[in-house]
Chain A
Amino acid sequence: MTESRSSMLDEAASYLLTPGGLTLDDLDLGLGHALGPGVDYADLYFQRSWHEGWVLEDGEVKEGSYNIDGGVGVRSLAGEKTGFAYSNQITADALAETGRTASGIVRSGASLAVAPRVVVQGASRYGGVDPLTGLSAEEKIALLKEADRVARAADPAVSQVSASLSGVHEVVLVRASDGTLAADIRPLVRFNVSVIVVRNGRRERGSAGGGGRYPMARLRDEGVAERFAKEAVRQALVNLEAIDAPAGQLPVVLAPGWPGILLHEAVGHGLEGDFNRKGSSAFAGRMGQRVAAKGVTVVDDATLVDRRGSMTIDDEGTPGQYTPLIEDGILTGYMQDKLNARLMGMAPTGNARRESFAHLPMPRMTNTVMLAGQDDPADILKSVKRGLYAVSFGGGQVDITSGKFVFSASEAYLVEDGRITAPVKGATLIGNGPEAMGRVSMIGHDMELDTGIGVCGKEGQGVPVGVGQPTLKLDELTVGGTAS
């Protein structure tokens, strides 16, 4: 491991530092500029990413794109103050200029020395590969055309098919005044299919997709084109038959997997360190208290192999971790970056993430998962007299202060007398995080992770995340349909 880490560092340095004439030794000098008088912590975050995307429409791959992004972000911390600047150039001059700007947040105080570097060795959670090179352009295009063919063959109602394939090869290197030196190579790929179906003048859509931190060739080997194409058509056809959703308070059963987005919104954001340090979260000051029903255990797990939200190291160079947040209904942990951990007297949990070098890191989720319970999923549905079974969701949002969350179902069904009956049109579910978690009455033994599609937004920054959960019953949630 030590050997592979140091070779990772060398590889990252060759991408990030060598082109601008820098070596690892030069970074101490660069950090010195950011560690001005009064600054108690500073870090340099180097990043370069290569993004490739192909889009199929009308049976042809009409668009291909390639984007190169990169630079260095320099941060200086003084107590609760943060100074930040960044540059597209990775050169000694750029480090000096951005460092002086960032450290301008304070003008007086003790001048600290940069700690000698300590290479941080996180256990590898994914291969440090360039995911773009495994397939030729012809093979990538063939994959998209296969999705088109499968979707159109699946049902005559299919009128439009679009499919996309994208991959990111990202190289990062972190050097901090506390000694941290860490590097990571992060692959990320994604395949997506969306369809429009038309029947008897009614139009509906369906979509499916997924991916993770692995080479593009694996998408082909796992047959995602066929799987996601069929899934998108199935969902669209279900929605063609959907009736108006009910309105009012109902029991809601969530299917396993992606519906874990509820957890992400209802609980996850409220347990991020920054909101709790500032006291703006509905969960602030509730450590050790019951915040969910017995049996509810929620973890943030960056260590899952090859998952979309996984992190070998976070964006401050802390190794990714398995962090219990709620254990058997009791609040036991927050997600922390270095700044908030220090100010709260806690330990960083490897949850510092940033969209890019041009953004400040914040405590963010990685893969947020509710662990399996004891109940048979069939029994869970049987227990519902009249309610909603939600299988897939569009997006969600939370107000972390009041605890109110919403999310929109993209596939849902009525449950009547314990049986799934009619599909219903996309309805919004709304609730209060702590309240909803107290109403979890049954937890299935069928924990599933999502297929790898999540993007989480916070303060304008998007990062890839994963979610997972078993079949789950909430005794009461407000369903925002139009039928009485």
Chain B
Amino acid sequence: MTQAFDAPAQQTLLETRAQMALELARRLGADACEVGASVDQGVGVSVREGEVETVELSRDQGIAVTVHVGKRKGSASSTDAGEASIRAVVEKAIAIARHTGEDPASGLADAELMARELPDLDVHHPWALTTEQAIELALACESAGRRRPGILSSDGASLSTGEGVRVYANSHDFLGSQRGSRHSLSCMLIAEDENGMQRDYDYTSARHPRDLLAPERVGENAAERTLRRLGASRPATGRLPVLFDPALAGGLIGSLMGAIAGGALYRQASFLCDRLGDGLFPEWFSLQERPMERGAMASSPFDGDGVQTRDNVFIENGRLASYMLSAYSARRLGMQTTANAGGARNLRLTAPLESRDELLARMGRGVLITELMGQGVNPVTGDYSRGAAGFWVEDGRIQHPVEEFTIAGNLEAMFKGLAGVGSDTDTRGSIHTGSWLIDEMTVAGS
């Protein structure tokens, strides 16, 4: 379909450029320097109503340089990684560092923390797919969904496949690089009844093409998800238990991670400041990070500071066991880095798992949430209020769809009130979890 992506050659090229930038920064007077460089290439196709809609070839590259002059810092970046451009970027970063103020916490992570074990984590599995094959798969996906009686039209099916290389290097003589791939297929469908139109979607995403769901399954799931929304009403306002679909439960873990991230903590912009060791969840719940898991979505042997990643335990038997820190945020807090510059990599939880039916039975009467809308999470206070859609549950069974209501509470109370975790684990992203049953929230509807 286009010229092939020569990953090894790209990797060598980026490594050379990163070394060049480091050397240049040293010559121009930087005391320390770090460089990130990446290149990604991919193809995306989308079809709608049985016809090709877009074919898109993407190729993105960039280089970013941060220099430290004494305790001052400057950063610059460019999407042009030619030699002249690298020189301009380094010079600009140094010029900025002449104006910024001193920051005692500034600087690279300690040299002895640099990653020494850099194993291949099995995350690079390019897909040799022609544009025509990509279109066929997207068409197969869409038509499986459109075949379902009741589906009015399609908002399209898209397939994208891409691979890339990223390099991080710093003046501790650290250089880490990694190749990776990502493939995904999604489908969105529309159904209609006398109350209006509804749409929903499904997707599959993986490092290796063989781990993707079959296209027909994605289309059928999208149809199922769309059709079951028809005939939705608004639930009555009240305090009720709430069951979060796995993808949405992952979002609650995301909110937790945002609140224990070093940047939020040293800015005092978190409801979990100074809470290390406190019981936040029920005792049966633990949350770990597995950055070296082979083939997983966010695997990496080094973090954004070049520090060797390791298995972290953030929640241990319900207690907040660790914050999530980079070298910089750790210094700001007087602590040690947890090798989380750039975020958490592959979060996995430990809890007694129950089937969806068991959770519904235990909930009795409440709402199952399958979609959330809006950004109503306040990380400073933990206050939570979001638009939602899902299903009304009575006698432990799904009764009918509900929409146009909000669910509200406070994250701390919601974490404490975690009453069960489903075995229906969603493994598409870097956070793996099943459904979450929260004992009580305010549902505002009619």
Contact = CB atoms under 8 A, between A and B. Distances in A.
Interface of A: 57, 60-71, 80-89, 98, 101-102, 104-105, 137-138, 141, 159-160, 162, 196, 198, 203-205, 245, 247-249, 278-280, 282, 358, 360, 394-397, 399, 401-408, 425-428, 430-432, 478-482
B75 A66 contact: yes
Interface stretch (B47-55, B114-122, B319-327): B47-55
Contacts of A431: 404
B374 interface: yes
Interface string B349-389: 00000000000000000000000011110101101011101
Contacts of A278: 48, 153, 155
Contacts of A62: 73, 100-101, 103, 106
A427 B445 CA distance: 14
Given A66-B93, A482-B409, 12 more contacts: A80-B53, A82-B53, A82-B55, A88-B59, A279-B153, A280-B153, A282-B196, A402-B199, A406-B387, A427-B385, A432-B404, A482-B408
A67 B97 CA distance: 15
Contacts of B198: 401-402
The 8 closest A-B pairs by CB, nearest first: A480-B406, A406-B387, A60-B101, A406-B374, A64-B96, A247-B444, A408-B376, A401-B199
Nearest to A239: B381
Interface stretch (B215-223, B263-271, B281-289, B297-305): B263-271
B234 to A, nearest CB: 8
Contact of B268 (A67, A71, A141, A160): A160
B110 interface: no
Interface string B204-215: 000000000000
Contacts of A404: 373, 387, 389, 403-404
A70 B267 contact: no
B278 interface: no
A105 B132 CA distance: 10
A404 B200 CA distance: 13
A426 B100 contact: no
B267 A430 contact: no
A57 B403 CA distance: 42
Contact of A86 (B48, B58, B85, B199): B58
B63 to A, nearest CB: 10
Nearest to B403: A404
Nearest to B106: A62
Nearest to B39: A88
Interface residues of B, number: 74
Contacts of A205: 269, 378, 380
Classify the secondary structure of B's interface with A.
strand
Given A61-B100, A404-B403, A428-B374, A67 B387 contact: no
A480 B444 contact: yes
Contact of A360 (B56, B409, B410): B56
A102 B88 CA distance: 32
A57 B105 CA distance: 12
B387 A480 contact: yes
A83 B43 CA distance: 11
Contacts of A81: 51-55
Classify the secondary structure of A's interface with B.
strand
Contacts of A87: 59
A479 B398 CA distance: 25
30 contacts: A63-B73, A65-B75, A65-B96, A68-B89, A82-B55, A83-B56, A84-B55, A102-B57, A196-B268, A196-B269, A203-B268, A247-B444, A249-B446, A358-B60, A360-B56, A395-B375, A397-B387, A399-B199, A401-B198, A403-B196, A406-B374, A408-B375, A408-B386, A425-B381, A427-B408, A428-B385, A428-B386, A430-B405, A478-B404, A480-B405
A406 B2 contact: no
B385 to A, nearest CB: 4
Interface in B20-57: 48, 51-57
B444 A137 contact: no
A196 B53 CA distance: 47
Contacts of A141: 99, 101
Contacts of B53: 80-82
Most A Cβ at <10 Å: residue of B85, B153, B196, B198? B196
Given A66-B75, A68-B85, A425-B381, A57 B387 contact: no
Contacts of B408: 245, 247, 427-428, 480-482
A479 B446 CA distance: 10
Interface in B250-272: 267-269, 271
Most A Cβ at <10 Å: residue of B2, B381, B407, B444? B444
B266 to A, nearest CB: 9
Nearest to A59: B101
Contacts of A395: 374-375
Interface in B387-429: 387, 389, 403-410
A188 to B, nearest CB: 18
A428 B85 contact: no
Contacts of A83: 54-56
A66 B76 contact: yes
A103 B199 CA distance: 32
Contacts of B442: 247, 480-482
Nearest to B64: A67
Nearest to A395: B375
Nearest to A58: B103
Contact of A85 (B57, B80, B267, B405): B57
B225 to A, nearest CB: 13
Contacts of B383: 425-426
A138 to B, nearest CB: 7
Contacts of A432: 404
A430 B387 contact: yes
A168 B373 CA distance: 31
Contacts of B269: 160, 196, 205
A426 B92 CA distance: 41
Nearest to B66: A65
A28 B181 CA distance: 37
A406 B375 CA distance: 9
Contacts of B197: 280, 282, 401-402
B55 A478 contact: no
A247 B404 contact: no
A205 B92 CA distance: 34
